[in-house]
Amino acid sequence: MAAAKRVAIIDGVRTPFARAFGVYKRLGAAELGRMATNELLARTEIDPAEVDALVFGCTLAPTAGPNVAREIQFRTSIPRVAGAHNNGHWDTHGRN
């Protein structure tokens, strides 16, 4: 039996709260995610080559569109072989 891999969540970052269709209305989820992910990598000084997976939470992600986490990965220096997973949620009122 192979030894279990150690998993570590190092940190997290989010975009600032803003009114829907306000200051960020021209930016899609992947572009906002790119900005947040690059900021996280800069703050933590983690070598992107060490990232095994990107887990990205997104409210109102495109339902018929691409995997937003994978699109963010393509826009950053995180290796293409790393996993990329979305965690979609609508709001804090339990409507999902």
pLDDT digits over 10-54, tens only? 788 888 888 878 888 888 888 999 999 999 999 999 899 999 999
From residue 95, alpha-carbon distances to 23, 49, 91 in Å are: 25, 37, 7
**DSSP 8-state symbol, 48:** G
As a whole-number percent, the residues of the chain with pLDDT over 70 amount to: 84
What does the mean pLDDT of the chain come to?
83
Kindly give, in sequence order, each residue whose CB lies less than 8 Å from that of residue 83, ignoring residues fewer than 6 positions away: 52, 53, 54
pLDDT at 39: 93
User: What number is the average pLDDT over the span 51-60?
Assistant: 84
Higher pLDDT among residues 70 and 63, named by residue: 70
Determine contact, residues 18/24, Cβ cutoff 8 Å.
Answer: yes
